[in-house]
């Protein structure tokens, strides 16, 4: 149970932390935006509450401090400062680390927390100290989701001689804290004058509100040792399912507690509406008692709001594992449907065919629906990058602002997850090597501040992500020289600038040397390219010397289902991603033109190199006379894939091949056909590479 | 109760004339032979993949792996599906067997360590040799049969092959 | 007893009476603490209680602290608690006095 809770908390916290970071970064440019402050406060509050529920007490304690300070911002007592945002971002990092260590405070985390808290305390209430709400928030159990939670009020008035029995009430409080969320208010009015006090007598009493899943008996048990000479009173203050619109009025609470008599209350009520003040003014009840009653009110109210939220909130959070499973099942459904369809066609059964077509509509709707659920806005990742840019630019003495557009653009969760690293890579490149130092920029007539623009948008069934900087751009001459040095070029003839820039993606190009000395780009760009390609995406680089560089990533909307062209090669069925197919040409083997580099096909005046997939399959190298050639576009180059026959276009449910198959080149996955057979999905860029390796020998 | 008396259950199966055993806790199910889709340019012993109720599962030919002739398919040929936890993930593997015999109990006492010499099979794949009466069963170590390291070795082999091969021929 | 002296120590620093509490200050130190607090109040200088190295406390100590704070207020003496260790702060919170202790309006 606690492990479950922990997992839920970690997930929740990760989500909240993202939100938090984003809010902080936004706050930097809009420090007066109270909406943002409220958002930060809420996120912190939730982390605190859930943290203490899910046995992250240290984290919860830390967050509390933070929340306290932000409560003051929220109430307008203090203003957002740059330092406060700094502290916020540091806290964000710290909380993230605490979540990772599962609340274990190691020495370095302790240092970190000390550092942050000492900075934070400048803003916390012990100096301002006019905000009674802070301490009260401590126990507000907003996040209590389980319905078994109950709130109790414990009044504890120890016998003055309690210390003689070596009983320290703190020990009891600590045990209480283990049972649930505790808020404790001490009554100190009876502590006598310093010159008269008997240091061995107990003058204090307490009122404790606890939210716990344990029974009343359990609470009483804790006071067992002291019960005899102390006054202990435990009562439930709120029955669950008590949905009365307004809980008890403050006066009623005090009345119920016997702090006021009925007459006193009604007298007071006649005077003014602000009960808390009146009662306090009247001096009938000590201030702590009112605080405590206010606390009770607050607690029950927040609890009730929480319940209301549960009722009215129309969005739920689902674990991604469940979604995966859902997706798998839909995939199965698509496959079964294909079998049914095939059967209907084979039998020529009109009725069966009609049913299968009806089903197809339904399945398509379900599939689209499930795919839609998996779509997430990319904005979550964007905020991480803003943070990166912010931190790194100040480190390097650069002035860089990151502008993002299209944060709401939705992409499949899997794509987003796998996109993060390549994007970090690209942004770092812009930051490290693209944007110049302020002086250099000024000397070149640019603004001192550089811009990195991150844009996401939909375009023709794809998502385009553009990373653009207004830095110094890439010098083709340097790239060309470097490529020649590294023998990446085919001869000495200098190609166009555009082609030269593509060398950056060549596997051998990125070396440590290239990172530091050359115009900058090329830091593992081959790796970036590969990871984008593994997402069935492509990458385009454009650069104007002196003006900047733009990198565009084209990504599929989803990874789970693609449109594929089913072809037959030898005895096997293979799937070619339709997105890459240009056209199909029916021809004869004898009509292919031979060259030093292999066979070529002439299509409308251009010669396209042919790749016989039969050779790739290996076991049957025989190519029949009648062949089909699938013209595909890979990296702006056209190739013709020689296949025996084209079976047709089909929606392909991609089955992951798992880590084991990563070693099999030319295959990106597999799918299951209508007849239950397995067909491999081709990884065309890799296939082209395989054939190129052979050519060079 | 002594630990020495613990008995384990093994599924025995036939490869040519030899009897092998695999811990039944590693076995998900046994399938009849069915169409296997070959994986181009994978290692020889990787016979291909099958569809196991919507999951794509690789099938390994142990005979090829141990250096014997390739398994010929007969009516008795089976695919034993292993369920292994590799690097935290549950993975399924199919292993070809000429025929499946029975499930037997062998106590720890009756399992000897792999022989140092004289075995037809690389001892890395052998968990031990079990004795039932006068018969011997070579107990395979399911986890070692299907490891990622092994696959990486295959990877290297493919690359070599490709450079020799000329597809334009 | 030297240990006792170490737990509570009162020094005068540029006209501020600094009371340093270290390690454990519990009922065994109560008398000592009380005397030092009285001494500090009688001194007539602003009082600062340093709890940065304080590890454990009990209710006796908390009571004395309140009592001294109230007394200081009647003499119009500044009474500050600074700095304070995390553990102590947590203990004060657990005891339900953190807010009270740091809220001068309640004096």
- pLDDT at residue A519 is higher than 60: no
Structural domain that includes position C28:
2-106
At A601, is the pLDDT very low, low, confident or very high (cuts 50, 70, 90)? confident
Per residue in A379-388, pLDDT tens? Answer: 778 877 887 8
Question: Are B89 and A659 within 8 A, CB to CB?
Answer: yes
A152-166 burial, b for 16+ CB within 10 Å, e for fewer? bbbbbbbbbebbeee
At A145, is the pLDDT very low, low, confident or very high (cuts 50, 70, 90)? very low
3-state secondary structure of C82: strand
Is-contact A89 A22, C-beta < 8 A? no
Please tell me whether the peptide bond between A88 and the residue prior to it is cis, using omega within 30 degrees of 0.
Answer: no
Query: For position A33, what pLDDT does the model report?
Result: 82
Specify burial of residue A351 (Cβ count, 10 A radius: 0-12, 13-18, 19+): exposed
* DSSP H or E segment with residue A497: helix A497-501
Q: Which of A664, A116, A592, C87 is nearest to B157 (CA)?
A: A664
Domain containing C60 — which CATH number?
3.30.750.24
- pLDDT at residue B96 is higher than 90: yes
Final residue of a structural domain among A504, A530, A556: A556
* ipTM field: 0.91
Size of interface A-B (CB pairs under 8 A): 96
- pLDDT at residue A474 is higher than 70: yes
Question: Are A138 and C93 within 8 A, CB to CB?
Answer: yes
Task: Give the mean pLDDT of chain A.
Answer: 76
Q: Which residue has the higher pLDDT, A553 or A413?
A: A553
Question: Are C86 and A173 within 8 A, CB to CB?
Answer: no
Query: For position A296, what pLDDT does the model report?
Result: 65
Q: How many CA atoms lie within 13 A of B160 on its CB side?
A: 6
Kindly state the tokens that stand for B147: 């490891």
Mean pLDDT of C77-101: 84
Mean pLDDT of A344-352: 86
Judge C/A contact: 3 or more CB pairs < 8 A.
yes
Angle at A30 between CA A25 and CA A34, to 5 degrees: 100
C34 neighbourhood in chain A, CB within 8 Å: 194, 197, 199
Query: For position A565, what pLDDT does the model report?
Result: 92
Q: Which chains touch B (3 or more CB pairs under 8 A)?
A: A
Choose the most confident range, by mean pLDDT, from A84-93, A590-599, B108-117: A84-93
Query: Is the domain of A489 the same as that of A548?
Result: yes
Domain count, chain C: 1
A661 and chain C in contact, CB less than 8 A: no
Residues 6+ apart with CB under 8 A from A668: A534, A536, A657, A681, A682, A683, A686
Chain B residues contacting A via beta carbons under 8 Å: 35, 37-42, 48-51, 54-56, 58, 86-87, 89, 91, 146, 148, 151-152, 154-155, 158-159, 162-169
3-state secondary structure of A543: strand
Query: For position A595, what pLDDT does the model report?
Result: 78
Is-contact C80 A127, C-beta < 8 A? no
Is-contact A95 A101, C-beta < 8 A? no
Find the residue in A nearest to B92 (Cα).
A658
Of A332, A599, A694, the CB nearest to B166: A694
DSSP β-bridge partners for residue A653: A561
Query: Is the domain of A43 the same as that of A116?
Result: yes
Query: For position B30, what pLDDT does the model report?
Result: 93
Final residue of a structural domain among A120, A141, A162: A141
- pLDDT at residue A137 is higher than 50: no
Find the residue in A nearest to C26 (Cα).
A168
- pLDDT at residue B165 is higher than 60: no
- pLDDT at residue A516 is higher than 80: no
Q: What is the spatial distance between Cα A57 and Cα A143, in angstroms, rounded to a whole number?
A: 15
Query: For position B77, what pLDDT does the model report?
Result: 92
Question: Domain-by-domain residue ranges, chain B?
Answer: 7-164
Q: What is the spatial distance between Cα A659 and Cα A656, in angstroms, rounded to a whole number?
A: 9
Of C59, C94, C103, the CB nearest to A204: C59
C30 neighbourhood in chain A, CB within 8 Å: 199-200
Task: Give the mean pLDDT of chain B.
Answer: 78
- pLDDT at residue B161 is higher than 70: no
Query: For position A243, what pLDDT does the model report?
Result: 36
- In this structure, what DSSP letter does residue B37 have? B
Query: Is the domain of A262 the same as that of A116?
Result: no
Single pTM value for the model: 0.45
Domain count, chain A: 5
- pLDDT at residue B11 is higher than 90: yes
Query: Is the domain of A632 the same as that of A580?
Result: yes
C41 and chain A in contact, CB less than 8 A: yes
Q: Which chains touch A (3 or more CB pairs under 8 A)?
A: B, C
C-beta neighbour count of B134 within 10 angstroms: 5
Question: Are A672 and B165 within 8 A, CB to CB?
Answer: no
Residues 6+ apart with CB under 8 A from B102: B11, B12
Query: For position A219, what pLDDT does the model report?
Result: 82
Measure in Å the smallest separation between the Cα of B160 and chain A Cα atoms: 10
Query: For position A288, what pLDDT does the model report?
Result: 62
- C-proximal residues of A, 73-132, CB under 8 Å: 113-114, 117, 125-126, 129-130, 132
C104 and chain A in contact, CB less than 8 A: yes
Q: Which of A22, A69, A36, A43 is nearest to A390 (CA)?
A: A22
C99 neighbourhood in chain A, CB within 8 Å: 132, 134-135
Question: Are C71 and A195 within 8 A, CB to CB?
Answer: yes
Query: For position A94, what pLDDT does the model report?
Result: 85
- pLDDT at residue C71 is higher than 80: yes
Is-contact C46 C78, C-beta < 8 A? yes
Q: What is the spatial distance between Cα A617 and Cα A630, in angstroms, rounded to a whole number?
A: 16
Structural domain that includes position A47:
3-141
A597 and chain B in contact, CB less than 8 A: yes
Kindly state the tokens that stand for A212: 């716990």
| E strand residue ranges, A110-149 | none
- A-proximal residues of C, 45-74, CB under 8 Å: 57-60, 62-64, 66-68, 70-71
Query: Is the domain of A636 the same as that of A595?
Result: yes
Size of interface A-C (CB pairs under 8 A): 100
- pLDDT at residue A542 is higher than 60: yes
Is-contact B61 B67, C-beta < 8 A? no
Query: Is the domain of A544 the same as that of A568?
Result: no
A691 and chain B in contact, CB less than 8 A: yes
Is-contact B44 B64, C-beta < 8 A? yes
Measure in Å the smallest separation between the Cα of C40 and chain A Cα atoms: 11
Measure in Å the smallest separation between the Cα of A645 and chain B Cα atoms: 18
Class of domain B7-164: mainly beta
Per residue in A47-66, pLDDT tens? Answer: 887 777 777 778 888 888 88
Is-contact A333 A363, C-beta < 8 A? yes
Query: For position A521, what pLDDT does the model report?
Result: 42
Per residue in A631-656, pLDDT tens? Answer: 998 877 889 999 989 988 877 877 76
Query: Treating both helix axes as pointing N-terminal to C-terminal, what angle do A262-271 and A250-257 enclose, rounded to 10 degrees?
Result: 160
Question: Are A615 and B167 within 8 A, CB to CB?
Answer: yes
Final residue of a structural domain among A273, A293, A311: A311
Q: A620, A660, A661: which to substitute to probe chain B, counting the most B Cβ within 10 Å?
A: A660
Find the residue in C nearest to A207 (Cα).
C96
What is the phi-psi region of residue A183: left when phi exceeds 0, alpha when psi lies from -120 to 50, beta otherwise? beta
Query: For position A306, what pLDDT does the model report?
Result: 53
Find the residue in B nearest to A676 (Cα).
B51
- pLDDT at residue A241 is higher than 50: no
Residues 6+ apart with CB under 8 A from C69: C79, C101, C107
A208 neighbourhood in chain C, CB within 8 Å: 96
Residue with tokens 């031990």: B128
Residue A218, φ and ψ in degrees, nearest 5: -60, -40
| E strand residue ranges, chain B | 7-15, 18-23, 27-32, 46-52, 55-60, 78-86, 89-97, 99-107, 111-112, 126-132, 135-140
Query: For position B78, what pLDDT does the model report?
Result: 93
Residue A390, φ and ψ in degrees, nearest 5: -60, -50
Distances (CA, A) of A13 to A60, A294, C97: 11, 29, 30
Question: Which of the residue ranges A428-442, A520-534, B136-150, C10-24 would you say has the lowest mean pLDDT?
Answer: A520-534
Query: For position B100, what pLDDT does the model report?
Result: 92
At B152, is the pLDDT very low, low, confident or very high (cuts 50, 70, 90)? very low
Measure in Å the smallest separation between the Cα of B117 and chain A Cα atoms: 31
Mean pLDDT of A176-201: 85
* DSSP H or E segment with residue B88: none
Per residue in A271-309, pLDDT tens? Answer: 444 455 555 555 556 666 666 666 666 666 665 555 444
Kindly state the tokens that stand for A177: 């804290």
Q: Which of A339, A251, A259 is nearest to A297 (CA)?
A: A251
Residue percentage of chain C with pLDDT more than 90? 17
Of B54, B146, B151, the CB nearest to A663: B151
Question: Are C33 and A202 within 8 A, CB to CB?
Answer: no
Residue A363, φ and ψ in degrees, nearest 5: -60, -40
Q: What is the spatial distance between Cα A327 and Cα A339, in angstroms, rounded to a whole number?
A: 19
Query: For position A634, what pLDDT does the model report?
Result: 82
B35 neighbourhood in chain A, CB within 8 Å: 677
Specify burial of residue A429 (Cβ count, 10 A radius: 0-12, 13-18, 19+): buried
At A468, is the pLDDT very low, low, confident or very high (cuts 50, 70, 90)? very high
A611 neighbourhood in chain B, CB within 8 Å: 167
Choose the most confident range, by mean pLDDT, from A37-46, A69-78, A211-220, C64-73: C64-73
3-state secondary structure of B166: coil
Measure in Å the smallest separation between the Cα of B121 and chain A Cα atoms: 23
3-state secondary structure of A395: helix
DSSP β-bridge partners for residue A637: A634
Alpha helices in C1-107 (DSSP H): 2-7, 30-43, 59-74, 86-94, 98-101
| E strand residue ranges, A177-276 | 180-187, 205-212, 231-238
Distances (CA, A) of A329 to A77, A273, A303, A326, B54: 54, 61, 39, 5, 9
Choose the most confident range, by mean pLDDT, from A210-214, A233-237, A341-345: A341-345
Per residue in C29-47, pLDDT tens? Answer: 888 999 999 999 998 888 9
Query: Is the domain of A221 the same as that of A135?
Result: no
At A349, is the pLDDT very low, low, confident or very high (cuts 50, 70, 90)? confident
At A134, is the pLDDT very low, low, confident or very high (cuts 50, 70, 90)? very low
Question: Are C60 and A199 within 8 A, CB to CB?
Answer: yes
Is-contact A389 A400, C-beta < 8 A? yes
Mean pLDDT of A463-479: 87
A680 neighbourhood in chain B, CB within 8 Å: 37, 39-40
Query: For position A144, what pLDDT does the model report?
Result: 32
Domain containing A675 — which CATH number?
2.30.30.40
């Amino acid at each position: 149970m606690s492990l479950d809770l922990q997992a839920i908390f970690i997930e929740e916290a990760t989500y909240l932390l993202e939100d938090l970071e984003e809010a902080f970064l936004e706050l930097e440019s809009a420090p007066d935006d109270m909406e943002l402050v409220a958002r930060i406060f809420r996120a912190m509050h939730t982390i605190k509450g859930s943290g203490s529920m899910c046995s992250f007490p240290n984290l919860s304690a830390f967050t509390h401090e933070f929340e306290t300070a932000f409560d003051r911002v929220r109430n307008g007592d203090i203003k957002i400062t740059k330092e406060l945002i700094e502290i916020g971002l540091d806290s964000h990092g710290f909380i993230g680390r605490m979540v990772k260590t599962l609340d274990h405070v190691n020495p370095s985390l302790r240092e970190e927390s000390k550092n942050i808290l000492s900075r934070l305390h400048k803003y916390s209430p012990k100096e301002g100290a006019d905000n009674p709400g802070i301490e009260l928030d401590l126990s507000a159990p907003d996040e209590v989701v389980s319905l078994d939670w109950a709130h109790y009020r414990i009044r504890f008035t120890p016998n003055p001689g309690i210390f003689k029995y070596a009983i320290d009430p703190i020990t009891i409080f600590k045990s209480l804290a283990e049972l649930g969320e505790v808020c404790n208010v001490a009554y100190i009015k009876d502590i006598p004058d310093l010159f008269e006090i008997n240091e061995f007598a107990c003058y204090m009493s307490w009122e404790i509100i606890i939210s716990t899943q344990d029974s009343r008996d359990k609470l009483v048990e804790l006071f067992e040792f002291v019960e005899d000479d102390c006054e202990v009173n435990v009562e439930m203050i709120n029955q669950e399912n008590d949905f009365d619109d307004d809980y008890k009025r403050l006066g009623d609470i005090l009345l119920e507690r016997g702090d006021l008599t009925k007459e006193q209350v009604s007298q007071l009520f006649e005077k003014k509406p602000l009960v808390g003040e009146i009662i306090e003014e009247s001096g009938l009840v000590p201030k702590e008692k009112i605080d405590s009653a206010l606390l009770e009110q607050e607690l029950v109210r927040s609890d009730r709001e929480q319940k209301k939220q549960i009722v009215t909130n129309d969005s739920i959070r689902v674990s991604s594992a469940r979604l995966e499973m859902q997706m798998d099942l839909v995939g199965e459904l698509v496959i079964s449907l294909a079998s049914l369809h095939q059967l209907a066609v084979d039998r020529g059964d009109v009725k069966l065919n009609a049913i299968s077509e009806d089903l197809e509509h339904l399945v398509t709707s379900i599939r689209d629906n499930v795919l839609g659920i998996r779509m997430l806005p990319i904005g979550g990742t964007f905020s991480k990058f803003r943070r990166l840019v912010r931190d790194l630019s100040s480190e390097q003495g650069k002035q860089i602002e990151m502008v993002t557009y299209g944060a709401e653009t939705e992409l499949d969760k899997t794509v987003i997850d796998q996109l993060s690293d390549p994007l970090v890579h690209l942004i770092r490149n812009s930051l490290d090597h693209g944007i110049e130092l302020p002086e250099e920029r000024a000397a070149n007539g640019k603004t001192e501040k550089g811009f990195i623009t991150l844009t996401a948008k939909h375009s023709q069934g794809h998502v385009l992500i553009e990373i653009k900087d207004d830095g110094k751009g890439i010098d083709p001459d340097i790239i060309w020289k470097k490529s020649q040095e590294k023998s990446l070029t085919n001869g000495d003839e200098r190609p166009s600038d555009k082609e030269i820039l593509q060398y950056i993606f060549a596997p051998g190009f990125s070396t440590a040397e290239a990172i530091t000395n050359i115009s900058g780009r090329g830091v593992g760009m081959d790796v970036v390219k590969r990871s984008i390609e593994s997402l069935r995406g492509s990458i385009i680089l454009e650069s104007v010397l002196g003006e900047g560089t733009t990198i565009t990533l084209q990504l599929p909307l989803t990874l789970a289902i693609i449109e594929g062209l089913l072809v037959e090669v030898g005895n096997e069925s293979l799937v070619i991603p339709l997105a890459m197919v240009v056209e199909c040409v029916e021809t004869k083997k004898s009509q292919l033109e031979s060259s030093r580099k292999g066979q070529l096909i002439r299509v409308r005046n251009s010669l396209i190199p042919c790749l016989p997939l039969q050779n790739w399959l290996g076991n049957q190298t025989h190519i029949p006379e009648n062949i089909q050639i699938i013209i595909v576009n890979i990296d702006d180059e056209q190739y013709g894939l020689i296949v025996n026959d084209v079976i047709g276009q089909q929606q392909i449910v991609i089955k992951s091949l798992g880590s084991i198959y990563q070693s099999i080149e030319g295959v990106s996955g597999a799918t299951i056909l209508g007849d239950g057979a397995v067909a491999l999905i081709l990884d065309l860029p890799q296939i082209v590479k395989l054939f190129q390796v052979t050519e060079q020998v | 109760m002594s630990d020495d008396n613990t008995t384990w259950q093994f599924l025995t199966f036939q490869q040519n004339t030899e009897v092998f055993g695999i811990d039944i806790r590693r076995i998900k199910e046994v399938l009849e032979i069915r169409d296997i889709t070959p994986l181009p340019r994978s290692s020889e012993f990787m016979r291909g993949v099958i569809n196991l109720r919507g999951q794509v599962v690789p099938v390994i030919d142990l005979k090829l792996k141990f250096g014997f002739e390739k398994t010929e398919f007969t009516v008795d040929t089976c695919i034993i599906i292993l369920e292994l936890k590799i690097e935290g993930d549950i993975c399924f593997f199919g292993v070809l067997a000429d025929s499946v015999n029975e499930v037997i109990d062998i106590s720890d006492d009756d399992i000897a360590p792999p022989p140092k010499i004289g075995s037809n099979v690389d001892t890395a794949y052998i968990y031990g040799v079990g004795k039932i009466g006068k018969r011997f069963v070579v107990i395979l170590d399911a986890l070692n049969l299907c490891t990622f390291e092994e696959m990486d070795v295959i990877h290297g082999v493919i690359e070599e092959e490709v450079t020799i091969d000329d597809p334009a021929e | 007893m030297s240990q006792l002296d170490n737990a509570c120590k009162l020094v005068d620093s540029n006209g501020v009476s600094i009371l340093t509490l270290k390690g454990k200050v519990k009922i065994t130190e109560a008398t000592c603490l009380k005397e030092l607090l009285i001494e500090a109040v009688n001194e007539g200088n602003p009082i600062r209680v340093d709890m940065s190295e304080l590890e454990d406390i009990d209710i006796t100590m908390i009571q004395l602290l309140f009592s001294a704070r109230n007394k200081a207020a009647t003499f119009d003496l500044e009474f500050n608690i600074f700095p304070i260790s995390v553990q102590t702060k947590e203990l004060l919170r657990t005891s339900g006095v953190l807010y009270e202790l740091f809220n001068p309006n309640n004096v």
